[in-house]
């Protein structure tokens, strides 16, 4: 169970770093807001395939939890 939590937290933090990196580039202003500038969307799209491969259909729920966690981290920390 701890391994899953660390993976969810890792994907959430990775997506926040990627979104922060993308939003600071002025050249990429042609990119749509979602998923490239939304931390929750980026987390779900980054993590859904690895989680489905590793955990099966429950991976969709892990990706959703990661999205909510990244939104909480991004707004409050």
**Tokens read off for 51:** 């989680």
Query: Could you give phi then psi for residue 57, rounded to 5 degrees?
Result: -65, -25
- The pTM is what? 0.88
Convert the pLDDT of each residue in 52-62 to its tens digit.
999 999 999 99
Look at residue 27 and tell me whether its pLDDT is greater than 90.
no
What percent of the chain is predicted at pLDDT more than 90? Answer: 71
Domain assignments of the chain as residue spans, ordered by start: 2-76
How many Cβ atoms from other residues are within 10 Å of residue 23's Cβ? 15
């Amino acid at each position: 169970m701890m391994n899953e939590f660390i993976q969810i937290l890792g994907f959430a933090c990775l997506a926040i770093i990627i979104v922060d990196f993308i939003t600071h580039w002025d050249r990429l202003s042609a990119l749509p807001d979602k998923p490239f500038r939304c931390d929750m969307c980026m987390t779900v799209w980054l993590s859904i395939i690895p989680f489905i491969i590793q955990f099966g259909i429950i991976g969709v729920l892990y990706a959703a939890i990661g999205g909510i966690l990244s939104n909480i981290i991004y707004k409050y920390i």
